[in-house]
Amino acid sequence: MRRKASRFEHPASARCRAWDRFACVGMGPHFRAGLSGEVIHHVTVHARPAGVSRCFLVVETQKGPSMRFGGSIIGALFKPLSRRSVAASVARHGGDAYDKVFRTWDHLVALVFAQLSGAQSLRSLVAQWNAHSHHHYHLGTGKLARSTLADANGRRPVAIFAEIFAVLSGLAERALRREGAAMLRLIDATPIPLDALVGWAAWNGRTRGLKLHVVYDPASDHPRRIAITPATVNDVEVGRAVPIEPGATYVFDKAYCHYGFWTRIHAAGAGFVTRQKKNARYRALRQRPLCQTKGDGFVVLADDEVKLVSKGNAKLAIPMRRIRVRREQGGILTLITNDLARSAVEIAALYKVRWQIELLFRWIKQHLKLRKFLGRCENAVRLQLLAAMISYLLLRIAARQARLALPALRFAELISCCLFTRKPLARIDKPPEVNPSKPQTRVHTNQLEFCYA
């Protein structure tokens, strides 16, 4: 006797139509778009009630990218910085203990925006930032209030921004390093003059303000370490605290003349090149032959192995060389080094590279905002200095990742003009690819078309 077909087995049954509506329509376009082909096949075939033979094919009609969203230029600048590392630093130092609404991430983005946009005051910064409130969501920030920003500048721990700089410096080391380049480290400091109305600023006889100490890698063109001290702190005191890297060569001027510092560099397996002070006396032990005397813009006059003969000779019991160089302008430099392997021309060329850190200081002071500060307290000034150095690293990393051949000055100018422009960073110097006058289709590209077989 033939069994009567159940209503669950009939193709035209209401239950089967309900199931088809659930599989084809009920999920909604956004839910369907997020499902992979295997999941849809499993839901529509294996999860169907037993005996139902109807099935349908799923054809994905997407031809372009999954989303039409295009991030802004300032959003692309912050991509290398991990929000997780920032949150870890905030937790260590209690950065959001007093400002639970205006978080550290909001503060960092606001100060970097001030550096890149050229905001001269708190009112200018708040007005420019809030005028682009419709772009804040993809940065994870919100609107600014002048009083809230001023309070955060006065009490947020500086150590958080210092750790963020250290993280970015490590990223820049991996992104900007050049294989085969010599390990060269330039050490120097630059004064940060402050207004005479800033009562807490120290006066060293020439400048009232702070000092920015930098250890700079010229091969990858980025500062590796920074320190901010009062203007009365001697440069060599900060230099002595710098960790020594074995195999590296440290180049500095006469301000870092400290025999204990030189001995520590030599004991760590590193080298140094510096200028001789006028009151330092050295005795020539042996004259070294000069195989080559002509360099790029200078001529080597003499190369001798020397020994310190002043009262502090016991503090400098290391082999040293004294190299005299005449520059094209006519001046004569006397260099002291513990490097016995390189030629005299190579050592003189290393000291000539020291000029790059002076160019770094000039670029930062001219193109970042270090002349006018957003607060008068010491904490606010230090935060703004760190934000300037963080901005410099973000620009360097972005230019390298986008593989732009633009000069650093032109790139910074374009960034300041296009901070909230939605375009790829690699095309910042080019017009948009899509013609705005061309009508755009209203069909969403991330749709699924269902065809019954």
Per-residue pLDDT of 370-406, as tens digits, reads 888 998 899 999 999 999 999 999 998 988 888 877 7
The pLDDT score that the predictor gives to residue 403 is 83
The pLDDT score that the predictor gives to residue 31 is 44
Spatial distance between the Cα atoms of 227 and 437, rounded to a whole number of angstroms: 52
Provide the residue type at 406 as one letter. L
The pLDDT score that the predictor gives to residue 401 is 84
The pLDDT score that the predictor gives to residue 404 is 79
Cβ neighbours for 68, distance < 8 A, ≥ 6 positions apart: 445
Question: % helix / strand / coil in the chain, to the nearest 5?
Answer: 40, 20, 40
Spatial distance between the Cα atoms of 27 and 58, rounded to a whole number of angstroms: 14
Same domain, 77 and 155: yes
Would 418 be classed as within a structural domain?
A: yes
Spatial distance between the Cα atoms of 347 and 271, rounded to a whole number of angstroms: 11
Same domain, 60 and 87: no
Picking from 70-84, 165-179, 188-202, which range would have the lowest pLDDT averaged per residue?
Answer: 165-179
pLDDT band of residue 21 (cuts 50, 70, 90) is very low
Would 257 be classed as within a structural domain?
A: no
Domain that includes residue 118, residue range: 73-160+370-427
Element housing 122 (H / E): helix 122-130
Same domain, 86 and 49: no
pLDDT band of residue 70 (cuts 50, 70, 90) is low
Spatial distance between the Cα atoms of 32 and 77, rounded to a whole number of angstroms: 33
The pLDDT score that the predictor gives to residue 58 is 47
Would 230 be classed as within a structural domain?
A: no
Mean pLDDT score of the chain: 81
pLDDT band of residue 25 (cuts 50, 70, 90) is very low
Would 49 be classed as within a structural domain?
A: yes
- Whole-model pTM: value is 0.77
Would 272 be classed as within a structural domain?
A: no
Can you tell me the mean pLDDT for 321-325?
94
Percent of the chain with pLDDT over 90: 45
Where are the strands (E) in 180-270, listed by range?
Answer: 184-193, 202-203, 208-217, 222-230, 249-251
Question: Does the structure show a pLDDT above 80 at 17?
Answer: no
Spatial distance between the Cα atoms of 276 and 256, rounded to a whole number of angstroms: 10
Same domain, 99 and 25: no
Picking from 34-38, 75-79, 263-267, which range would have the lowest pLDDT averaged per residue?
Answer: 34-38
Spatial distance between the Cα atoms of 305 and 368, rounded to a whole number of angstroms: 44
Same domain, 136 and 62: no
* Tens digit of each residue's pLDDT (9 = 90 or more) over 328-376: 887 899 999 999 999 999 999 999 999 999 999 998 988 888 888 998 8
Q: Which two tokens stand for residue 223?
A: 């500062």
At residue 366, what are phi and psi to the nearest 5 degrees?
-85, -30
Spatial distance between the Cα atoms of 262 and 275, rounded to a whole number of angstroms: 12
- Burial class of residue 13 in the structure, from the number of CB atoms within 10 Å of its CB (0-12 exposed, 13-18 middle, 19+ buried): middle
Would 377 be classed as within a structural domain?
A: yes
CA proximity to 77, closest of 103, 107, 105, 109: 109
Spatial distance between the Cα atoms of 345 and 325, rounded to a whole number of angstroms: 9
Can you tell me the mean pLDDT for 278-293?
87
Cβ neighbours for 169, distance < 8 A, ≥ 6 positions apart: 222, 223, 224, 225, 393
* Tens digit of each residue's pLDDT (9 = 90 or more) over 112-162: 999 999 888 999 999 999 998 888 888 889 899 999 999 999 999 999 999
Question: Domain count of the chain?
Answer: 2
The pLDDT score that the predictor gives to residue 444 is 61
Same domain, 154 and 86: yes
CA proximity to 132, closest of 419, 411, 388: 419
Same domain, 62 and 18: yes
